[in-house]
Amino acid sequence: MSSRPSRQAWAARPLSLLGSMVWSNDGDLLNPLVFLAWVATGVAVGAYGTLVGAGGGFALVPILLLVYPRQSPAQLTAVSLAVVFANVVSGSIGYSRLRRIDYRTGLLLAPATIPGAVIGALVVGGIPRAAFDAIMGGALILVAAFLLLRPQGTMPVGLNGGWVASRTLVDSDRNRYQYRFNQALAIATSFGIGFVSSLLGIGGGIIQVPILTAFFGFPAH
């Protein structure tokens, strides 16, 4: 039998090599090529994530899972959430200058999102790597299916109940946005989004943006 590595082994070698170089403790973390590769990855993920309002974690976590097959889910999600946080801060500055941030709604939903995120961070530490990989893959498939098949032009949910808020925003280009939403449902949804986003390390944008636009009538931007 031939001792030459299979094509699959050769294909997986660059990812395994990169992972061992970056995550090792022998100083290879400062390797210029590795550093530049991750900087380029971070810029690309950050730019795309900010553009779609998703933070970029949904793209970064699968990359981390491929590059670091032996690291725990807790480690990888922590790295991803740190990158997502930086992307969200930079993106928020840009949207603030465009006057497209609904601060009142943000302050309303944040108190529910934060506890959910804390619980998600605690739960992920007890999930085996193989199970996490399966959960992550299934979640991405569900999100992709929802984005492709989500209803268009539907009325926001819960507008017949109490505690309905109305919002009007005028951005720097004088575009006017008006929408109404059920605050109780939005708060409950934000708790679940915080939990899932922290559990998977993808940030809440990739889940929250489609839900807020499809079911609560929020403008996309």
- pLDDT digit of tens for each residue in the chain (221 aa)? 444 555 544 444 444 444 444 444 433 555 677 778 888 888 888 777 777 666 778 888 988 898 888 889 998 898 888 888 887 787 788 888 888 888 999 899 989 999 999 999 999 999 999 999 999 999 889 888 887 887 666 667 777 767 888 898 888 888 898 888 999 999 999 999 999 999 998 887 788 888 888 888 888 76
In a domain, 99, yes or no: yes
Amino acid at 118: V
Tokens standing for residue 216: 């609560």
Domain residues for the domain of 203 are 7-215
Helix extents (H) in 98-128: 103-124
Orientation angle between helical segments 57-67 and 32-52, nearest 10 degrees: 150
In a domain, 220, yes or no: no
In a domain, 49, yes or no: yes
| Contacts within 8 Å (CB) and 24+ apart, 29-35 | none
In a domain, 68, yes or no: yes
Read off the pTM.
Answer: 0.74
In a domain, 221, yes or no: no
| pLDDT attached to residue 119 | 94
In a domain, 168, yes or no: yes
Tokens standing for residue 189: 């949804």
Tokens standing for residue 9: 């082994």
Domain count, the chain: 1
**Alpha-carbon distances of 102 from 89, 113, 125, 128, 168, rounded to whole Å:** 15, 16, 34, 38, 9
In a domain, 2, yes or no: no
Please report, in angstroms and rounded to a whole number, the separation of the first and last CA atoms in the chain. Answer: 59
Residue indicated by tokens 């550093």: 35
In a domain, 115, yes or no: yes
Q: What is the largest CA-CA distance in the chain?
A: 73
- DSSP annotation of 127: S
| pLDDT attached to residue 124 | 93
Please report, to the nearest 10 degrees, the dihedral formed by the alpha carbons of residues 25, 27, 33, 35 taken in order: 70
